[in-house]
Structure 1
Amino acid sequence: MTRVHDMGGRHGDGAVIPEPQGMVPVGANWQRSALALTLAAGGLGAWSIDTSRHAREKLSPKDYARFSYYEKWIAALADLLAEAGLVTEAELSAGTASAAAPHPKLFTADKVAPALARGTPYTRASDIDPAFAPGDRVRTRLPARNAFVPGGHTRLPAYAAGQTGTVILTHGAHVFPDTNAHRMGECPEPLYTVAFAAADLWGVAEAEGDEVTLDLWQSYLEPA
């Protein structure tokens, strides 16, 4: 079963309205603070990006549906901080930290630009040989689910499960989100970009020849 965030192809959620720059703009001060706080807390090293994505997915459906983009970030961050023991529920309620000493990995302002410039690469060495090459026809796993944790994080969307597409790019081995989100190890495996005919996924395409491309890990795929 999928979670509320897996909305692709679902009826009743209204039109998709693209933002001018292709992302949610950071406008009001609280939105800027939400972004900064999320990055700073991630710098403490208590969780991975996959864990943080799953925290947003786990928000209750009623909250996920009514929260704005950065409200989802803040709600998930509060859950992560509490689960990691970095803050208490009392501190969250009061809005004030009770500890006098800062965290030893405090992400100060002078560290922000260098950290963002470095980025966080997720390519890894792997002993798993690539099974596919550009031009290969592949079929995605059905159902789209985490094979290790019931209801766990996965990057295979439900609308693409059981569908046939064509490998168009190979990216080497990358950290596997289905395990990394749950602190089960990085378990790197080959990653591919796979193209699907939009008409195959949606039943009808907006224009002839439209495609949907997805970055998918090897264990999501089988030869078609």
Structure 2
Amino acid sequence: MTRVHDMGGRFGDGPVDPSPEPVFKEDWHARALAVTLAAGALGQWNLDTSRHARERLSPKDYARFSYYEKWISALADLLEENGVVTRDELMAGQGAGPSPLSGRKLRADAVAGALARGGPADRPVDSAPKFAPGDVVRTRRPARNAFVAGGHTRLPSYAAGAVGRILHHHGAHVLPDANAHGRGESPEHLYTVVFDAAELWGAPERAGDEVTCDLWQSYLEPA
């Protein structure tokens, strides 16, 4: 089954407004981003786990929350689930005592360097890529996590079972489906796959439009 965040191609949401907007519409949006990054530096979860936490928000909350409300709500879940804080501490807005993780805090003067370094997800593997640019492939159907029922995956449901063409091979990268659930990095070859918009939507905005997705090797099979 799909989750509420997997909304590509859905009718009823209205057009995308490309008008320029401020980076942060509200002052607290910047703080929500900063707190999320600082909490990630504690090393209690990885990027894929945090993405899955946002996907696990209840459909009612996900639909009504703003972008940064989703971020801060998912962060609260991660903090409690990983024992960083208790529910009582969250409700009180302060810790009950010193944290054993205080030594891992991200200091303000270290933020720029941490962001510049990022978190590269490319990894070496011994196996050769199964596909090459130009190969025609079909994506897995349904779009599901093969390790954990209802788990995180980067294969969108709108692209499940669709036929596309390998555009680029990116080398091997951490597999989110495993990494989000504590099953190791399990790196796989990663490809950019290009789809004709008609293959995905049936009635594209313009003939010849294309959609590209970055997809892991286990999501694909020869078409």
- The answer to whether the superposition gives a TM-score over 0.5 is yes
Runs of 4+ in structure 1 off by over 6 angstroms are: none
- Tell me by how many angstroms 1:29 deviates: 1.6
* Structure-2 separation of matches of 1:131 and 1:48: 27
- Give the match for residue 84 of structure 2: 86
Are 2:110 and 1:111 equivalent residues in the alignment? yes
- Tell me by how many angstroms 1:206 deviates: 1.3
- Give the match for residue 186 of structure 1: 185
- Tell me by how many angstroms 1:55 deviates: 0.1
Matched letter for residue 83 of structure 2: G
Q: Secondary structure at the match of 1:104?
A: helix
Gaps in structure 2 of 5+ consecutive residues: none
1:25-174 equivalent positions in 2, closer than 5 A: 25-100=23-98, 103-174=102-173
What is the number of equivalent residue pairs in this alignment? 222
* Structure-1 separation of matches of 2:134 and 2:203: 24
Q: TM (normalized to structure 1)? A: 0.95
* Structure-2 separation of matches of 1:127 and 1:161: 28
* Structure-2 separation of matches of 1:100 and 1:163: 52
Q: Secondary structure at the match of 2:189?
A: strand
- Tell me by how many angstroms 1:169 deviates: 0.4
Matched letter for residue 86 of structure 2: T
- Give the match for residue 18 of structure 1: 18
Per-residue Cα deviation, 1:62-100 (whole angstroms, up to 9, x for no partner): 000000000000000000000111111001101111223
* Structure-2 separation of matches of 1:153 and 1:61: 16
**Closer/same/farther in 2, CA of residues 123 and 69 from structure 1, 3 Å limit:** same
* Structure-2 separation of matches of 1:38 and 1:19: 27
* Structure-2 separation of matches of 1:127 and 1:13: 44
Q: CA RMSD in A?
A: 1.3
Gaps in structure 1 of 5+ consecutive residues: none
**Closer/same/farther in 2, CA of residues 19 and 182 from structure 1, 3 Å limit:** farther
Matched letter for residue 12 of structure 2: G
Q: Secondary structure at the match of 2:102?
A: coil
* Structure-1 separation of matches of 2:23 and 2:54: 19
- Tell me by how many angstroms 1:19 deviates: 5.2
Q: TM (normalized to structure 2)? A: 0.96
